Amino acid sequence: MRRDVFQAIADPTRREIINMIAHHPLNVNAVAENFEVSRTAIYKHIKMLTECGLVVITQFGRERYCEARLEGLTEVADWVEQYRKIWTERFDNLENYLDELETKKKRSVRKK
Amino acid sequence: MRRDVFQAIADPTRREIINMIAHHPLNVNAVAENFEVSRTAIYKHIKMLTECGLVVITQFGRERYCEARLEGLTEVADWVEQYRKIWTERFDNLENYLDELETKKKRSVRKK
DNA sequence: TTATTGTGCAACCTTTAGGTTACATTAAAT
DNA sequence: ATTTAATGTAACCTAAAGGTTGCACAATAA
């Protein structure tokens, strides 16, 4: 199934899982042990992370190691970055527009 | 209500709304006109965006202008950035670990 | 004054998310 | 050969997400 990275990182538990395996792989049970919820619940989160490519699972014996593949986060990084100019230079870019709206507002208020 | 920025940007419609008003404010109906779904549906998305601080609404007469306040995206940017090293330098950092797992795997496969 | 426009919101519906328990399967340990 | 451990998955439940229609209300236009 094709999954959305934005959706994948929306859940705080999944973000925690990512953080947990970001530096070194862990098997499924090891990940699950760090949470209150059931192993099955964590397994589903992991599965979703694999479906959007943020995690890869490799089997060794009866264990399966979850490894972070965070390249997919570039999609998020790029999306956010396109707006950085806007929120850092907002006053330069929108001052005129806001002034205009402000004027409109005052006119409106006067009419009341 | 306190809302999560990660959750807010998880929905593609909300991301589109953000994109739509990123450079200049639009009133609620103007935003809604650009989508197939109902005005009410869009209104709810906008409301959620205001609840997490990404959008501010200012009333002028009977219109309400939605203005993007994207500073809140820094939370997302920061979260993603902390992992950039990992996905760009993964081979340097994890090579040993992966080699180790690889060795383990081969041993396991041999046993079959 | 009356009609129209822009909007907020209640009430309701359907799908999806996130969780649980129970069970099947395969590898490892006794 | 049996038992134990690690895991995948089905079946089910509840709450939340995302959508709709309908209505109330304030501001504007006629």
Q: Which residue is nearest to nucleotide C10 (CA to C1')?
A: B40
The predicted-structure confidence for A11-22, as pLDDT tens digits, reads as follows 999 999 999 999
Cβ A50 to strand D below 7 Å: no
Measured CA to CA in angstroms, residue A19 lies from A97, B37, B54, B83 at distances of 41, 36, 25, 9
pLDDT tens string A41-94: 999 999 999 999 999 999 999 999 999 999 999 999 999 999 998 888 765 554
Comparing alpha-carbon positions, the chain B residue that sits nearest to A59 is: B105
pLDDT tens readout for residues B6-51: 999 999 999 999 999 999 999 999 999 999 999 999 999 999 999 9
Query: At residue B92, what is the residue type?
Result: D
Domain ranges, ordered by start, for chain B = 5-68, 73-111
Give contacts of B104 with chain A, Cβ < 8 Å.
60-61
CATH number for the domain whose boundaries are A5-72 = 1.10.10.10
Tell me the pLDDT tens digit for each residue of A55-66.
999 999 999 999
Q: Between B85 and B26, name the one with better pLDDT.
A: B26
Q: Which class is domain B5-68? A: mainly alpha
Q: How far apart are CA A72 and CA A65, in angstroms?
A: 19
Rounded CA separation A78/A92 (Å):
23
